[in-house]
Amino acid sequence: MDSDSPMRSEADGQVPDIPTETTIEPPQGFTEDGSDEAVMADVTVMPDRSAGAAAARQPAAMWIGAAAELAGTFLICSMIYLIYSLCGAVLGLNVILVALTTVLVYAGVTAMLGRVSGGHFNPAVTVAAMFTSQTGWLEGLVYIVAQMIGAIAAGGVLAILPTSGSVPAETWLAFSVNGFGKASPSSPYLAKSGLTFGVSMAVVTELMACLLVVGTAVATMRRNGRPRHGHALYMGLAYGAGVFLTYLVTGSGLNPARSTGVAVFAHFKKSSVDPLGQLWIFWICPLLAAAIVGLFCIIADMLKESARSAASDPLQGSVGFSEEPDGSDQVFDQDAQEGEGDPRVDPAEGAAGESTTVEGYQSQGIHGRHAA
């Protein structure tokens, strides 16, 4: 708006005296080109030191996160191996007790270390986070390696379980090793009726449970991979619900690292059914669930962006030009024009010569840009 145009005062309805010419001292870095038409800017753009510092810290943060993933996976897997083995061998099949302890273990460890790494502790969760760009690809691969190391180390904890001629290691491992058919925890009970949980039942139940776990993980993580409020509790509940569905069928894999760690240990104990031969199902189902969740999130984001673009007014949020009666032009924000009056001059502040906002930039003592 031309600075010569009248503006009425809200107090007395009179036209205040507004200076028609404002002298501006160019700040450092600005030079005048000798004419009265414009003030040209000669600005030196300084490098963003904060971004450089963040980039320098990124490798360190990645390795710290990997260490947290290793420690967290070790704690989760070792406790699950021991609890499942002890409860099964001493108390028999008790799905409620196993599910409750699973909720507490995952929720507790995620609450303890989740803020450091994001609280994955599961290669399937990490892969889904990589698909949704919540975790970088290099960082994700490092996390998966750390999770596998932690899980395999946790398998060695089972060596502390006592064994004898009547209670061999296979008795303990029967309730913590993942498998189907004769390797299912409920196989001794179903054999009396001539039934068995085959590969089809194992695939369906594991895939459904993994979809729940991975979907909950992605939904409760921010775009930068940090956990949202309540992430630990939701993850514990998701794993607990997955155990209810899968424990009697497969011993509840839900996590490729958890399945691999105990399978490696049981392989060297010469179990009747080699768990490494059935391990493929406990990798394919979680990774397939991660791919499905990641694809769903990508499609959902594309649809939201398309709907947002179609519903928005092409003039809103854009920068346009308003032609003044005297031929001068000014740049202004269309969103602000739809709001409270003319955004180019604030009547409360423009009259006092304090500030004027143009496209979100505030300049002191400037009532407008006008050409001579």
Query: 25-59: string of b/e by CB count within 10 Å (b at 16+)?
Result: eeeeeeeeeeeeeeeeeeeeeeeeeeeeeeeeeee
What mean pLDDT do residues 268-291 have? 89
Whether the per-residue pLDDT at 258 is higher than 60: the answer is: yes
Contact status, residue 235 vs residue 216, Cβ threshold 8 Å: yes
What mean pLDDT do residues 186-204 have? 88
- Looking at 156-280, list the stretches that DSSP marks H as alpha helix, in order from N- to C-terminal side: 169-173, 187-190, 199-219, 231-250, 256-268
Q: What DSSP character marks residue 354?
A: S
Q: Which two tokens stand for residue 209?
A: 């449970």
**pLDDT reported for residue 314:** 57
Query: 64-73: string of b/e by CB count within 10 Å (b at 16+)?
Result: ebbebbbbbb
**Phi, psi (degrees; rounded to nearest 5) at 345:** -135, 125
Q: Determine if the pTM surpasses 0.75.
A: no
User: In this predicted model, what pLDDT tens digit does every residue of 29-62 receive, in sequence order?
Assistant: 444 454 444 444 444 444 444 444 344 347 888 9
340 CB-contact burial (10 Å; exposed 0-12 / middle 13-18 / buried 19+): exposed
Q: Which stretch of DSSP H or E encloses residue 32?
A: strand 30-32
Beta bridge partners of 329: 323
pLDDT band at residue 140, thresholds of 50, 70 and 90? very high
Q: Which stretch of DSSP H or E encloses residue 291?
A: helix 281-311
Q: Which of 126-140, 176-190, 217-231, 314-328 has the lowest mean pLDDT?
A: 314-328
**pLDDT reported for residue 79:** 95
User: In this predicted model, what pLDDT tens digit does every residue of 337-362 receive, in sequence order?
Assistant: 444 444 444 444 444 444 444 444 34
Contact status, residue 125 vs residue 231, Cβ threshold 8 Å: no
